[in-house]
Amino acid sequence: MNDAQIKSWISSGKTALGIEFGSTRIKSVLIGPDHSVLAIGGHGWENQLVNGIWTYSLDAIWNGIQDSYADLARQVEAQYGLKLTTIGSIGLSAMMHGYLPFDGEGKQLAEFRTWRNSMTAQAAGELTELFGQNIPERWSIAHLDQAILNGEDHVSQIRFLTTLEGYVHWQLTGRKVLGVGEGSGMFPVDPATCQYDAAMVEKFNARVAKYNFPWKLIDILPTILMAGDDAGSLTEAGARLLDPTGTLQAGIPFCPPEGDAETGMVATNSIAPRTGNVSAGTSCFSMVVLEKPLASVHQEIDLVCTPTGKLVAMVHCNNCTSDLNAWAGLFRQFAAACGLEVDTNKLYTTLFEAALSGEKDGGGLMSYNYDSGEQVTGLSEGRPLFVRQPGHQLTLNNFMRTQLMTALATLKTGMDLLYQEGVAIDTIYGHGGYFKTPVVGQKMLAAAINAPVTVMETAGEGGAWGMAVLAGYRMWRKPGQSLDDYLADEVFAGMTGTTQEPDPEDVAGFNAFTARFVKGLAAEKAAVETL
């Protein structure tokens, strides 16, 4: 597309903007009507461990989104010579679930408790038994219930409970809403109605009735919307929050805010039954769209929804590449001590490709990448741990293969349960930083799940691009056009990707590694208890 056409789109507002709050970066992606990326903005940030709770402050949230948007606006002006004054539609996404409670005046009542916290084991277990459905520790309802069990004073003052993107959306538009996918991780959703499960709502209200709170659950949760629904417009106050320079105009339509799991599904065109995707970065999770409900309740598997309300089996792991990144940083320091300056892409490419030459099971080495707790394996805290037995070959190739396999080992234990349930998967798509080095991450995931893994050319932009597509669907879809058809016909038609088939020797090696990984969890648990 030529610059004249792009300039026309930007000046006339024929664009869509997706902003996603990731764990380490807030990313803004502007697309045109052909869904191509026109400009990208970003802001780096990190969670903080405050009084034992992983959190981000509200100041960090607003400084971050303003800086990310400003970076995008600068890119637009530098590339096309235009100030960004209007946009066709905007969508917000963020790290899934968590806990953000507010009083009737909009005052924050407790620190933002992110997905990374493993502090709700009692509540999650009791609610799982009460509802007959797995309630993960990171879900908003688990955090609320645990706060009640802990006797936290702020609970009686709650008048609105939401997630990160739900909060930002509320401040920018005045609307207290969420997309059905993210809503299904606050509280279970009934796939038949695509609303909070009414029977479970009543069970929860009965559970907490003795506390005489001045609220009922449904009154404090966001309203659930479906993909494409009207989710409000940018207010004057919201425009100044997003763009303090005063350049961006109010009145821009918003689509329903969604979680990063849902935007990942959109970004990989995996919202139809028998499709799935794996997002692998700071955390990793798989999303498999089901043809029917699972037969059993598994603590390793969450049930959530696509942005259109289809039932999804999700295996979520708090830990993926953080420890791997720490080791890469150590190698960078060694190179610097030797007087060598190593480009980041070359560093990761070299380390990842070394893994391909390692022994298939990692040569007997073992690593646990647990920076934080992991519900799938029953750990409330984590301790990164590397272990080897005397005589095993400590080579760079074996070490890196071990690091890449341990990043996926916890995920594999949950995926194996899905296969045991008879879940059929035709296609798995990979996206996230783990797949940035060509081939390597795909081969490792294909070995872990014993299935072909495809990476689309859009995977590098990830969920922020997927959120922009959802914003585009809000505005550009044809009358009656479903999101499935919109993605197939308007977004991914003709788009190419690369696929890696599972290698039988890689599969056997990963299975052997995982068996040792599970057996050695006792050592990780001992490290948590003693270190």
Structure tokens at 140: 């908003």
Domain ranges of the chain: 269-458+501-531
Which of 96, 89, 63 shows the shortest CA–CA distance to 258?
A: 96
Cβ(37)–Cβ(10) under 8 Å? Answer: no
Q: How many C-beta atoms surround the C-beta of residue 477 within 10 A?
A: 16
Chain centroid, CA 241 distance in Å? 24
Rounded to two decimals, the pTM is 0.85
Q: How far apart are CA 303 and CA 312, in angstroms?
A: 6
What pLDDT score does 461 carry?
A: 62
Structure tokens at 519: 């057996």
What pLDDT score does 458 carry?
A: 58
Q: HSE-up of 375 (CA within 13 Å, CB side)?
A: 30
What pLDDT score does 496 carry?
A: 77
Sign of CA dihedral 287, 222, 220, 197: negative
What are the average pLDDT values for consecutive 10-residue runs of the chain, which has 531 residues? 90 97 94 96 95 95 98 97 97 94 98 91 96 94 98 98 98 98 96 96 98 97 98 98 98 97 90 91 91 90 94 93 96 97 95 98 97 89 94 95 98 93 89 90 96 77 90 96 95 87 97 97 96 92
Structure tokens at 492: 């991914």
Amino acid making up residue 521: L
Q: How many C-beta atoms surround the C-beta of residue 104 within 10 A?
A: 9
Q: How far apart are CA 423 and CA 459, in angstroms?
A: 25
Which residues make beta-bridge pairs with 289? 312
Q: How far apart are CA 312 and CA 275, in angstroms?
A: 10
What pLDDT score does 1 carry?
A: 65
Which of 208, 83, 193, 195 shows the shortest CA–CA distance to 144?
A: 208
- Cβ burial, residue 380 (10 Å; 0-12/13-18/19+): middle
Q: How many C-beta atoms surround the C-beta of residue 410 within 10 A?
A: 28
Cβ(43)–Cβ(117) under 8 Å? Answer: no
DSSP 253: B
Q: How many C-beta atoms surround the C-beta of residue 330 within 10 A?
A: 10
Structure tokens at 249: 């105009």
Cβ(387)–Cβ(366) under 8 Å? Answer: yes
Residues with Cβ within 8 Å of residue 517, at least 6 apart in sequence: 366, 368, 405, 406, 409
Q: DSSP characters for 297-353?
A: --TT-EEEE-TT--EEEEEEES-SSHHHHHHHHHHHHHHHHTT----HHHHHHHHHH
What pLDDT score does 278 carry?
A: 93
Q: How far apart are CA 148 and CA 428, in angstroms?
A: 39
Residues with Cβ within 8 Å of residue 262, at least 6 apart in sequence: 93, 179, 181, 182, 306, 307, 466
**Three-class DSSP labels, 85-145:** CCCCEEEEEECCCCEEEECCCCCECCCCECCCCCCCHHHHHHHHHHHCCCCCCCCHHHHHH
CATH of domain 269-458+501-531: 3.30.420.40
